[in-house]
Amino acid sequence: MKNLKTLEDLFHHQLRDIYNAEQQISKALPEMVEEASENNLKQAFKDHLDETKNQIARLEKIGDRLDIELTGETCDAMKGLIEESKELVSKDADDNVRDAGIIADAQRIEHYEISAYGTVREYAKALDEREIADQLNQTLQEEANADEKLNKLAMDAVNPKAKVQK
């Protein structure tokens, strides 16, 4: 029997993938709080860590509702994105330049999530799971807001400082 016979199977697979990705992110964010120098950036990561924990709980509720296990999948893409961000912080960099780099890596992570949640929200709609679609949309909005916040921090505060040589 094929593992992925229907859109519903693919939906469940994608939920497991993003569930694992969120868990990896929740483990990586405290380190990003530590590595960031700009206080507003630290705070943005702290806030998003709280949100991420909520998002994990939201996915668990969805798993319960669908009566599926969410564990057992590894999101290799998120593993790679997080690895790259760790590579960056290990480099000898000026604080402001490091902050700019951390934001770049964090935005790659948010964009991955935006893509993943957009997909599962549409699958939920296609499968007539309106309530689940709404919950996934809520997370999608949080990811989009996090990305926008990082954008603003980079453009208004971090990038201009990183331009100046010390």
Applying CB under 5 A, the residues found at the interface with Fe ion are 17, 22, 52, 55, 75, 77, 113, 143
Cα–Cα distance measured from residue 75 to residue 18, given in angstroms and rounded to the nearest whole number: 7
Taking the C-alpha atoms of 97, 116, 61 and 52 in order, what is their torsion angle to the nearest 10 degrees?
0
User: Rg (Cα) of the chain, in Å, rounded?
Assistant: 17
Closer Cβ to Fe ion, 88 or 144, answer by number: 144
- Amino acid making up residue 116: A
| Residue 35's binding partner out of Fe ion, Zn ion, none, with CB under 5 to 8 Å set by partner kind | none
Tokens of 36: 């960031």
Closer Cβ to Zn ion, 23 or 145, answer by number: 23
Helical segments of the chain, H only: 7-35, 39-66, 76-89, 95-126, 130-153, 159-163
Q: How far is the CB of 139 from Fe ion (least distance, A)?
A: 6
The interface region with Zn ion, picked from 10-18, 83-91, 130-138, 139-147 by CB under 5 A, is 10-18
Q: How far is the CB of 117 from Zn ion (least distance, A)?
A: 15
Please tell me whether residue 17 binds Zn ion under the rule CB under 5 A: yes
Q: Would you tell me which residues interact with Zn ion (CB under 5 A)?
A: 17
